Amino acid sequence: MIQQRHSQTQQLRDWAYLGMEKYFRKAIAYEQKVLTDQDPEDLHQMRVGMRRLRSAVTGFAPILDLPPQMSNKRIGKMARILGELRDLDVLQEALQEYQPQVKAKEQPLLEKALQKLSKRRSKAFKTVKNFLKSKTYKNFKQSVNTWLQEPHYQNWAELPVNSVLPDLLLPYINQLLLHPAWWVGVTVEGEKIKRPTRLTLKGAESQISQQGEALHDLRKQAKRVRYQMSLFRQHYGPVYQEYVQEIKQIQEVLGTIQDTLVLEAFLDEVLPSNWRQEGPGLTKLLTKQRYECWKEWYKLQQRYLNELVRQGLRQAAISPLIAIAVTENNTLVSKDLPEDMNSGKTTNHRHLHNKH
């Protein structure tokens, strides 16, 4: 039955089904490995699967008829339970990465932080373990399997997928482009946009300190857009693919900045108040990593304050048949899709940005 669906995936309902099935299978595939707690990557992959399943539920919500156990709210709650443990793993990985880079006199600080983190992680893992063995989780899996065996949709789910893709994608893209974090550190005088011409460590730290929440929220919106756009990648051409990759870069750069802030908050909580003075090497590493990411963010911010780049992203989503590239001299160029688009192959083209 699944193979037949793959060969006839022209209606919107078919793409909804494929997305729901793919991410559900991805999530539960790691369930037993997560319970053994041998590799943090297993938890990460299960969490990603659950998050993407939630994105599919949200993105296809207008055409889906789902039981309460499969609601966006329920899946979000499950993802957060996994996320609490995953966040601790990220902190642990970061501390272990910094450990060989600091001097011997700072090692006791890191050891103490790792000990505190280990205790907190044990409690979080117990919560995850209990959840994966709970009746709530079993009912969720049963509900999804039942729906996959006999899916229910709204009437207009039989529309051709290409005819409604812009309607599904543009609300997410618009929220991304209208996010206030794009204007962090920016002043507008008339029609002119002014940004700092010289990036300094002090200036970066000041902006991050004041606007950290807004930047973190932009990261979350970028992730939502990326997940939604990824659902339909094979319906679009190379320009669309480049935008997906660029939005991923935005997510990762802002995510690294946020990770350093979360780590500092954790250290403030578990270490003496003077840990920055006692551990100048660690403090410098955290600050340096933020600054390097801030310089990458500066380039991405500049690009997405360009009206033509924003127009290009919207246009890329509007039509699965034509994508728009922004050239170096800020002109728009139409790119017809290759005939083998549905096979997932794309032709070579100039990158939208320089990758690092």
- C-beta contacts of 291-296 below 8 A and 24+ residues apart: 291/201, 291/204, 291/205, 293/253, 293/254, 293/256, 293/257, 294/199, 294/204, 294/207, 294/208, 294/257, 295/199, 295/204, 296/249, 296/253, 296/356
Measure the CA–CA gap between 79 and 53, rounded to whole angstroms. 10
pLDDT digits (tens, 9 = 90+) for 156-176: 899 888 888 999 999 999 999
Q: What is the largest CA-CA distance in the chain?
A: 67
Whole-angstrom Cα Rg for the chain: 23
Residues 127-156 have a mean pLDDT of: 96
pLDDT of residue 352: 38
How large is the average pLDDT for residues 242-255? 97
CATH node for 2-156: 1.40.20.10
| Secondary structure string (H, E, C) spanning 259-286 | HHHHHHHHHHHHCCCCHHHHCHHHHHHH
| SS percent in the chain: helix, strand, coil, step 5 | 75, 5, 20
In the chain, where are the structural domains located? Answer: 2-156, 162-343
pLDDT at 253 over 60: yes
Does the pLDDT of residue 108 top 60, yes or no? yes
Q: What is the mean pLDDT of residues 263-269?
A: 96
* Whether pTM exceeds 0.85: no
Cα of 274 vs its chain's centroid, Å? 34
Banded pLDDT at 198 (limits 50, 70, 90)? confident
The percent of residues above 70 in pLDDT, for the chain, comes to 87
pLDDT in tens, 1-59: 333 344 345 789 998 999 999 999 999 999 999 999 999 999 999 999 999 999 999 98
Whether residue 346 has pLDDT greater than 90: no
Report pLDDT for 321: 54
Token pair of 210 as six digits: 């004041």
The whole-number average pLDDT for the span 197-205 is 90
- The yes-or-no verdict on residue 338 having pLDDT over 80 is no
Q: Give CA–CA dist 214/176, Å, rounded.
A: 12
The half-sphere exposure of 91 on its side-chain side, counting CA atoms within 13 A, is 23
pLDDT for residue 76 is more than 80? yes
CA angle 299, 302, 308 (to 5 degrees): 125
Condensed to tens digits (0 to 9), the pLDDT of residues 118-130 reads: 999 999 999 999 9
What's the distance, CA 291 to chain centroid? 21
For residue 9, the model assigns a pLDDT of 52
